[in-house]
Amino acid sequence: MPLQSLISFLKNKENIIFNALVALLTVGGQQLFSFFAFSCPCSHTKNVNYGLAFLGVPALVLLIVGFVFNDHTWRLFTGSSQNSYIQERGKPFDFLKYKLICFVCGNITGRALVAPITWLAVTLLNGSYYVCAFSEFASVDQYDIFRNVSPTDRKQILAKFPCAQHIPANLTVIRDEVLLDLKYQSQVSGWLLVAVVAITVFLIMCIAKCISPLSFLHLRYWTNYVNNEQTLFEQAADQHSKIYAKQNLKKFFGFTPGSQNVTEIRIPSRWDWRTISGLDILSVVDDEHCHYSLLHAWADDDPMDGKYVSNDQGPSARSEDAAAPS
C-alpha cells in the first residue's frame, strides 16, 4: 500500500515533477555551458552582443523546444477547429469550448516557459553574462582617474574589466568594485525575475481556478481521463499498427513474423523490390484514406501474382527429417 500510495501521489503531481526536472536539467546545462563555452571578448561593442546572445538566445531556443516537444501544441495545429456537436448546441457550449482551449493553451505556454525562465534566472544570479554585456556602461564618475577620460576611451577601458589580464595594476581595485556592483545588479534582477514569475504564476492559477468551467474534482477527473486515454490509445495504436503491418508483410513475403506453420513463402520480384524501395512518406489516396508507407501502397494494389515456393524447413519437413533413420 505505501508503494501504491507513493505512485498515486507522484502521478497526481506529474506536472510539478516534470517542471522540476526541466528546471534542474536547465540549471545543469547552464553551468556546463558557462564553463565550457562562455569567454567574454572584453572588447568595446562586442561585449554587449556576446553577453546578450548568451543570455537571450539559449532562452529563446529553450522556449521553442518547449513548444515543439509538447504534443498538445501539434494537437491544436492539426486538430479540426470545427466541432459540429458543440456548435449545434448553441453559444454557451461554444463559450465552454473556447474556455477549455484557452486552458490548454495556458498549460502549453506554462510548460514551455519553465526552461527559458530558469535559464534567465540562473544566468542573472550567476552574473557572468550580465557583467560581460554591461561592463562598458558601468558608472565610474566617482573615480578621479576617469574624470579626464573621453567617453569613448572610458568605454574601451571598461569593456576590458571582465578580463583581469588586460587591466593595469592601478585599476585593479576599481575593477573589483565595478564588477561587484554589476554582479549585484545582475543578481537583484535575477531575484526580481523569480519573484515576478512566482507572483504571476500564483495569480494566473487563482484566476484560472475561478473562471474554470469545471469544478476542482471534475477538472482532476478530466486530467486523469485524458492521461489514461492517451496511454491506452498508444497501446492500442501500437498493437493495431503491428497487426496491420503484418497483413501487408504477409502479402509481400507470404508469411508473418513469428509464424510457426510456414508451408510456403513468396519470392518478391525485382519490380516488387523497386516499388517498396525509397522514402516511406505518407500519401493521400482519397478524402478518407491514406497510404502510410510504400509497402502499404504496394499491398493495397492487391498483387495476387507472384512466385511462391514451398518451405522445406516447415514443421512437416522437420518431422520427416526426425523420423528418417540415421
Reported as a single tens digit per residue, the pLDDT across 235-264 is: 999 999 999 999 999 989 988 888 888 888
For the chain, which residues make up each domain, given as ranges? 2-230, 239-323
Measured between alpha carbons, how far is 39 from 140 in angstroms, rounded to an integer?
A: 24
308 beta partners: 266
Phi-psi region of 324 (alpha: psi -120 to 50; beta: other; left: phi over 0): beta
- Lowest mean pLDDT across 72-86, 119-133, 154-168, 283-297: 72-86
Helix, coil or strand: residue 101: helix
Which amino acid belongs to residue 222?
A: W
310 beta partners: 264
Q: What is the DSSP letter of 139?
A: -
The answer to whether the beta carbons of residues 264 and 310 sit under 8 Å apart is yes
Which residues touch 113 (CB under 8 Å, ≥6 apart)?
63, 66
Instruction: Give 292's pLDDT tier (boundaries 50, 70, 90).
Output: confident
Q: Average pLDDT for residues 211-221, to the nearest whole number?
A: 82
Measured between alpha carbons, how far is 34 from 40 in angstroms, rounded to an integer?
A: 11
Q: Is the pTM of this model over 0.75?
A: no
Cell 506453420 belongs to 261
* pLDDT per residue as tens digits for the range 4-32: 555 555 555 666 776 777 788 888 887 78
